[in-house]
Amino acid sequence: METLTEKILTAHSDKKKVTPGDFVNARVDLVLANDITAPLAIKEFQRLGVSKVFDPKKVVMVPDHFCPNKDILSAEQAKLMREFAKEEGLVYFEVGRMGIEHVLLPEQGLVLPGQVIVGADSHTCTYGALGAFATGMGSTDIAVAMATGQIWMKVPPTIKFIYHGKLPKWVGGKDLILYTIGDIGVDGALYSVMEFAGEAITELSMDGRFTMANMAIEAGAKAGIFNVDDKTEGYLRHAIASRTSSAFAGRETTRQSQPYSVYRSDEGVQYANIIEYDVSKIEPQVAFPHIPSNAKPIGRVGDIKLDQVVIGSCTNGRLDDLRIAAKLLQGREVHPELRCIIIPGSQRVYLEALREGLIEIFIEAGAAVSTPTCGPCLGGHMGVLAAGERCLSTTNRNFVGRMGSPESEVYLASPAVAAASAILGRIASPEGN
Amino acid sequence: MKLKGKVHKFGANVDTDAIIPARYLNVSVPGELAKHCMEGIDSEFLSKVEPGDIIVATTNFGCGSSREHAPVAIKACGISCVVAQSFARIFFRNAINIGLPLLECAEAVNKTEAGDILEIDLFSGEIDNISKHKKFFANSYPEFMIGIINAGGLIGYTKRRRGNSPSP
């Protein structure tokens, strides 16, 4: 008996069966880098003395971190990546057609169940929401994966998280994952896979599942993963059917459906640990500075005034997230002493939000709406904090100096808490607002 | 391989934003990154560090982002080795891949203080705290990882392997 992860890794190695702790050379289906990590990866790739990537249609580069470029040096980095992508014929999404990588790749139908995906970005684990084994690595690993189509891996043990019960109103994927990290700690799943299951997960939207898989790294995990269900299949049908030209140009496959393998964890398989929660008792969560595990229920937050709210990122920049924010911001105004910055995660999310009237709601409420970028999440641009400032953000990390000055503070929460807080100018519950 | 240096000690969960804040990631030149090493956690670090020095930390060292710039900055400012109770997994891979040695040894971490002098035999895993006259043994590396370290990192290792066998 095997877990979903073990089955995927077996299928991508030369072994008949893998067990946790085994070292395997895994074949990869997709390799990813961005404007920060690609320049180093390209340099290392060139040191290898290889002229061509193993398969240009399986290597994706996305200018999202400091793009549209914030300064001359970052423009040079993006240029280096763009030129390499063009020369090698890689899958590349330019500004104006792009998105934050972990919002973009799934929506473009590039991520499929059963795949092994490695990315030079720690939040590559997001793709586990679609039943893929996806993990973040550094630039040198990615250089080798680009050159050989293979990467060494230690087969991780799997911890199963079961979420029982019915989700209370305003409680979603972000609250479940912050609550979980608060419970197990930032190294509570170190080197392991977090497999998410239970009736609350079945009820959770795909966007909520992306949020959970995304933050598996914040518990130290190698990957977060979900078994495929009807919601996954529905998402994939739509994603594959609406691939844009950058995503399928030169591929044998087109917008037509593409076969993929669905693996499932066997009933009764031995997990390294099983952790169960009753979600009906979970309140919206806020992670206090300066570590994501410092989570508190909204009822115990107290009076914390804010200077800025950010809604977006690879964690919470999808359409569902913007819909929730719009529900609260409709007909209301952002507090006069606070900046609210809303960043749709991709051009498609942006366009759909526009068509649904969400962008109008945001602008009328007094929020700034930006083109897709990782920008403020890592203190890059579009919302960097000054000393003494406090920000509540739907992003994923609240380390010292993460969003700017080392003397600033970042609180992590869901889009619902973020929107309610933007209106009141302090951390606030969406309930009753 | 023997290493010897003075200890700089840190606690738990030293994240990659503390090691090299993202605002400096608009370059990837090691020397430039080294100028901001550990800036997010100890602004005096660079004035104290000397070539060969050793970082000692408790759990989950290097958590957070996948930025390889973090071990690159540590190596480029002269640190010869990091000893911790545990490492975040991406940081662990990155460090080995770029040729920054790491050792896991809880006991050595517990019994070592800032300013102590350590002498480390990388392959036997022996950590000799010369200041305290105590010896410790770190977890050993799997064999292929020693191969990566001997080759100076993953690029050298991959080149060797590709040279010995037909390309995949």
Tell me the per-residue pLDDT of A92-109, one tens digit each, with 9 for 90 and over. 999 999 999 999 999 999
Report the pLDDT value the prediction gives residue A258, as an integer from 0 to 100: 66
pLDDT averaged over chain B?
94
- Which chain B residues are Cβ-neighbours of A40 within 8 angstroms? 28, 68-69, 72
Q: Is the pLDDT of residue B168 over 80?
A: no
DSSP A263-277: --PPTTPPPSEEEEE
Residue B167 pLDDT class (50, 70, 90 cuts): very low
The reported pLDDT for the residue numbered A339 is 98
In the structure, what pLDDT confidence band is assigned to residue A166 with cuts at 50, 70 and 90?
very high
Q: What is the pLDDT of residue A246?
A: 74
Closest CA of chain A from B133, distance in Å = 32
Per residue in B103-153, pLDDT tens?
999 999 999 999 999 999 998 899 999 999 999 999 888 888 989 988 999
Higher pLDDT, B152 or A63: A63
pLDDT tens readout for residues A379-411 = 999 999 999 999 999 999 999 999 999 999 999
DSSP state of B87: B
Average pLDDT of the residues of chain A: 96
Token pair listed for B163: 């040279």
Alpha-carbon distance A33 to A218, whole Å?
20
A122–B98 CB contact, under 8 Å: no
Closest by CA to A420, choosing from A407, A405, A410, A431, is A431
**Global pTM exceeds 0.90:** yes
Burial class (CB in 10 A: 0-12, 13-18, 19+), A47: middle
Q: In Å, how far are A32, A142, B89 from A122, measured between CA atoms?
A: 11, 12, 10
Residue with tokens 């399928």: A248
Interval A276-299: pLDDT, tens: 999 999 999 999 999 999 999 999
pLDDT, position A212: 98
Dihedral sign from CA coordinates of A106, A54, B148, B38: negative
Report the pLDDT averaged over residues A16-35: 97
Confidence of residue B166 (pLDDT cuts 50, 70, 90): very low
pLDDT 10s digits, A233-250: 999 999 998 888 777 655
**How many C-beta atoms lie closer than 10 Å to residue A118's C-beta?**
26
Is B60 in contact with A186 (Cβ distance < 8 A)?
yes
**What is the predicted pLDDT for the residue at A95?**
97
Phi–psi pair at A31, nearest 5 degrees: -125, 135
Cis peptide, bond prior to residue A290, ω within 30 of zero: yes
B129, B118 contact by CB (below 8 A)? yes
Burial A375-411 (b: 16+ CB within 10 A, else e): bbbbbbbbbbbeeebbbbbbbbbbbbbbbbebebbbb
Find out whether A179 and A172 touch, Cβ atoms under 8 Å. Answer: no
pLDDT at B164 (0 to 100): 58
Q: Are B65 and B17 in contact (CB under 8 A)?
A: yes
Contact A391, A310 (CB under 8 A): yes
Could you say which of B21, B27, B66 has the minimum Cβ distance to residue A73? B27
The mean per-residue pLDDT over the stretch A305-331 comes to 98
The torsion region of residue A230 among left (phi > 0), alpha (psi -120 to 50) and beta comes to alpha
Nearest Cα residue to A390 out of A308, A269, A267: A308
Nearest of A305, A318, A293, A312 to residue A393 by alpha carbon: A312
Give B79→chain A minimum CA distance, Å: 20
Interface probe, candidates A35, A67, A373, A402, chain B, greatest B C-beta count within 10 A: A402
**Confidence label for B162 from pLDDT (cuts 50, 70 and 90):** confident
- Confidence tier at A37 by pLDDT (50, 70, 90): very high
Q: Which of B8, B18, B120, B124 is nearest to B55 (CA)?
A: B8
3-state DSSP assignment of residue A412: strand
Task: Identify the pLDDT of residue A423.
Answer: 98
Which residue matches tokens 């971190």? A65
CB contact under 8 A, B17 and A73: no
pLDDT for B58 beyond 50:
yes
State the pLDDT at residue B143: 87
How far is the C-alpha of A127 from the C-alpha of A65, rounded, in Å?
Answer: 18
